[in-house]
Amino acid sequence: MALNKDALAKYKKASEISKKVKTYGKLLAKPGVSYLELSEKIEAKIRELGADLAFPTNLSVNDVAAHYCATHNDKNVLKKGDLVKLDVGIQIDGYIVDSAISFGIETKEHDKMIKTARSALDNAIKILKPGVKVSDIGAQIETTIEKAGFKVIKNLSGHGLEQYVVHAGYNIPNYDNKSNETLKKDDVIAIEPFVTNGRGGVKEGPSSGIYELYQTKPVRMYKEVLKHIVETYKTLPFSERELQKKFGPLKTRLALGTFVRAGILHDHKVLLEEKGSYVAQFEHTIIIDDKPIILG
């Protein structure tokens, strides 16, 4: 489906905000800075610049590969030597730019892994055009990572994006999955290579505190909480931390538990690599064309 000028303008504005926010977040990330403080400042900056969150700030450190979201009482702080993955989602009227960077905290120890993740993304983007196979994108990523002596995380992947939907349509693999599925002009996708010195696969950990509307159903309790979720976030992921600011910790926790058990909300889990390993990630959102439009 062709993108109209209004949608394209919103994507490009979200892209510029994404770039500024990632730079801002990296500058703030120092030893002793709490995950909570960093996440809250990044989210405030997104809104200050005229956009809103497509999903809560993901601040995943070391062997935590993805989906770590600071809680309202999070005590974790950044430490010298940490490898940080900062994944931010920017949306303007539901047009989403999903983008991520990796960086070390006062260390060069992880530079090769970080550079490899960046190169894997760059090499994948080089072959993008209408008609390219998603498996060929994965092959570019896999080859780049393995040549550098690292492993690709095969059970994490990129994805398509639609208005107000972060994960839609395509699965963009990080390895050659032999799929014959091809991309079309004006498709919007996110490519996100994950590089590790661990096992090359993630397992689910505890709840991330990130929730997403799966379906709506009549509820007897916490109707006002569900109404707020539907009206405020629509189908976009949101954090328990943010919901607590309106409804308080106890009511929020009880409501979310009720909605998850009823199949109304999906509860995202923290995704963990092998304990003691490291993971690097880079990500861009891209609009497919003969000359791809790189966002974020």
| Positions marked active-site | 87, 98, 159, 167, 192, 283
What is the rounded CA–CA span in Å between residue 209 and residue 41?
A: 18
What is the rounded CA–CA span in Å between residue 286 and residue 272?
A: 27
Q: Which single residue is written with the structure tokens 């889990």?
A: 269
Tokens of 181: 């599925």
Short-list 241, 253, 266, CA closest to 35:
241
* Pairing of β 188-191 and β 64-66: unpaired
Rg for the chain, CA atoms, rounded: 19
Amino acid at 152: V
Bridge partner residues of 207 (DSSP): 269
Length of the chain measured in residues? 296
282 contact partners, CB below 8 Å, separation of at least 6: 100, 101, 102, 117, 118, 120, 121, 192, 193
What is the rounded CA–CA span in Å between residue 228 and residue 220?
A: 15
Cβ-contact 286, 188 below 8 angstroms:
yes
Q: Which single residue is written with the structure tokens 């990330």?
A: 29
